[in-house]
A and B are shown apart, each in its own frame.
Chain A
C-alpha cells in the first residue's frame, strides 16, 4: 500500500522571457489501487503537474512537496523517481532515433528492477503485451516513437506501463488522438495493469469517453493551476455537459 501526496505545489515553467507561474498550490493525494481523473481546460497546467512530478528540468518547483510513501520525490533525479515506482505516460512521447523499442524496453526494465529480466519470459511477456495492445511485432525493431502515428505512440506508452509495473502512473491525455477502437484497446491495457497490480492512477483528460472504460474513483477539476473542485464519477458527466465555464473567473 503506497501513497503519493502532492502538497501545496507551486511550479514555474522556464520560458525565453523568464520563469512563468503555472501551478499555484496543488493538493492531491492518490493511494494504491485508486484511480483519479484530472480534468481541466487547455493551458490550466495539467501537463505541467505531470512533468513536475516526473522531474522534467524545464519545470521548477518553487514551493510545496511531492511525497511517495513519505519520501521526498523532488529531491530525486528523474531516473530515481522512475526507479522509486513513478511512471508518466506522456501527452507527446519523444522520438529517440537509433534506439530500438526492444532494446529500450529491456534497458528500462533492467533499470527499474535493478537486474536484467530472464530472457525467455521477457521476450514472451513483451510479445504477449504487444499483441494485447494490437501492436504489430515489427514495432519491437523500430526506433522508439520514430515515425509512429499518434495512436501508436500512445499504445507504446501503455505497453511500457504494463511491462514496468509502476506504483503510480500519471497518464497525460492518453486518450487524445485515439479512435474508438484504439481507445478501447488502450483502456483495456490500463485496466489489466489495475487488475494485476495495485497501481494508483492519475488520469489526465479533457473528455469523459475514456472514463467509460476506466472508471475513476475521484474526479478533480483543474483550473488555473489549482484543483477547483473534487467529486466522484458523476462530476465528470456534469463537466462534459456544462463545460468549465462556471470555474473560470469572469473577466
Chain B
C-alpha cells in the first residue's frame, strides 16, 4: 500500500509569511535533490558562502562570519560530565578511528568544526547496558574567541540511555555531535541551547541508526544570539525508528534556525519530526527546514513531519519549509504539515473579557501550545526548566505592559490561577 498525504493544519498556514519564494516545496528543492548535495570532510571543498546558497539563504551571515573564515583556534568550552555508572566518557585524539563515522559535513561551518578540533569527547554506552540515570554533558562557554568542539556518542547494540547536552554561558562555537545507535539500541539525546545573550552556536548533529534501533532526538533552543542546528539522521539498516522533536522560543533579536534531514535509504524505517516554536519581539526570527528523502530502496517507509509556529507579537517572523522527496511508490505513509499562527488582539481580548489578566492569558496560550511537546522531552529536570524559562520570557515582555493597571490585584489573580494549576 502506498499513501502520500500532504496536509496543512492549524489556524493559519501563512505561506506569504513563510518565505519569499517557493516556501513550501513538494518534491525537488530549489537546488535539486537532497540526495545530490555534496558532503566532505575537507574544508577546501566548501567555498565561503555569500548567503544566497540554498543552505544559507535564511541565515544571518554577518553574525556567523566568525565561524566561517577558516580553522578555529579558540579554546573549546568546558564540558562538565555527570554520567551514569556504566557509561564511559573519555577525551580522545582527533585521530581516534571511532570519530568521523557518522557521515561527512554538509556545509562550510560543519567542515570548519571538523577541521578545527584537537581532541574529541567520546561517550560510549556499552553493549546491553541499560543506564539507570541520564548522562549530562554541560557545555559551559566562557570565551568570545571562535572555537570548535567535537562530541561523539556511541550507543552500542541493545543498550538504553539518555544523554543530555546542556549548553550555557557564552561562546562562538562551531560544533559537531555524532550519534551512533547500534542494532537494537535505544538512545535519547536531548540538546538544550540555553546560552547567554551574545552567543553564536552552529552545530551539526549527525546520527546513524542501526537495525531495529531507536533514536529520540530532542532539541530545546532558548538563549543565544544565533543558534543554527542541522540535525541529520540516516538509517543504516532496516527496522529503525527516529523521532526528532524540537521546541524553540525566540525573543527580540534572536535567530534560531533548525534544519533537519532524515535520510531513508533502507526499507521499513519510521521517522517522526515535530518542531514547535514561539516568537516574540522585534526581529525575533526562526527558520525551520525539514528535509525528508525516501530513496528508491526505502520501501515500507513511514514518515511524518510537522512544524508549528506561534507568533506572539508583531515584528517577529517564522519561516517554515517542509520538503519531502519520494523516490519509491512502495511506502507506508509520508506527510508533512506546516502552520504559523498568530496570537492576535482578538484572542487576547476574548481571554481578558473572561477576567483573565494579560500575563495569564499569554501564559495560557503559550503553555497550551507547547504542552504536548514538553512531555516529549522525557527528562523531568529539562521539562521543569523549560516551563520556568517560558514563564520568564513571558514575564520579561509583560514587565513593560503592566504599568497602567492595578498591578497588585492582577498579581493576586495570577497567583490564584497558578496555584489552581498546581492543584489541578
Contact = CB atoms under 8 A, between A and B. Distances in A.
A229 B355 CA distance: 33
A78 B365 contact: no
Given A80-B405, A93-B350, A95-B11, A111 B355 contact: yes
A114 B341 CA distance: 31
Interface in A98-140: 98-100, 103-104, 106-108, 110-117, 119
B48 interface: no
Contacts of A95: 11, 347
Interface string B381-424: 00000000000000000000000111001101100110110011
Interface residues of B, number: 38
Contacts of A144: 350
Contact of A79 (B345, B357, B368): B357
A97 interface: yes
Contacts of B11: 95, 97, 146
A103 B364 contact: yes
B417 A107 contact: yes
B347 A96 contact: yes
Contacts of B419: 116
Contact of B420 (A80, A83, A99, A107): A107
B353 interface: yes
What size tier do the contact residues of chain A reach? 35 or more
Given A77-B405, A96-B347, A111 B357 contact: yes
B352 interface: yes
Nearest to B341: A97
A164 B382 CA distance: 36
A93 B356 CA distance: 16
B9 to A, nearest CB: 10
A143 B9 CA distance: 14
B345 to A, nearest CB: 6
A248 B341 CA distance: 43
A57 interface: yes
Contact of B355 (A82, A96, A115): A82
Contacts, number: 117
Contacts of A160: 354
Contact of A99 (B346, B355, B365): B365
A164 B350 contact: no
B346 A108 contact: no
A107 B360 contact: yes
Interface string B334-360: 000000010001110111111111101
A139 to B, nearest CB: 16
Given A96-B365, A97-B11, A90 B416 contact: no
B352 A115 contact: no
B46 interface: no
Contact of B354 (A57, A77, A111): A111
Contacts of B366: 98
B413 A83 contact: yes
Interface in A45-73: 54-58
Nearest to B361: A79
A6 interface: no
A111 B360 contact: yes
A58 B357 CA distance: 18
A94 interface: yes
B416 A111 contact: yes
A30 interface: no
Contact of B369 (A79, A98, A111): A98
B365 A164 contact: no
A78 B364 contact: no
B420 A108 contact: no
Nearest to A95: B11
A82 B350 contact: no
Most buried by B among A78, A79, A115, A117: A79
A88 interface: yes
Contacts of B360: 107, 111
B351 A98 contact: no
Interface string B358-383: 10110011101101000000000000
Interface of B: 10-11, 310, 341, 345-347, 349-358, 360-361, 364-366, 368-369, 371, 404-406, 409-410, 412-413, 416-417, 419-420, 423-424
30 contacts: A56-B349, A58-B345, A78-B352, A78-B353, A79-B356, A79-B413, A82-B355, A83-B355, A83-B409, A87-B353, A90-B350, A93-B350, A94-B346, A96-B365, A97-B10, A98-B365, A98-B366, A98-B369, A99-B365, A103-B368, A104-B354, A104-B364, A108-B356, A110-B413, A111-B354, A111-B360, A114-B412, A116-B419, A116-B424, A119-B423
Given A79-B358, A97-B11, A115-B416, 15 more contacts: A54-B353, A57-B349, A79-B355, A79-B357, A80-B409, A83-B409, A87-B353, A90-B353, A94-B350, A95-B11, A98-B366, A108-B356, A112-B354, A114-B413, A116-B417
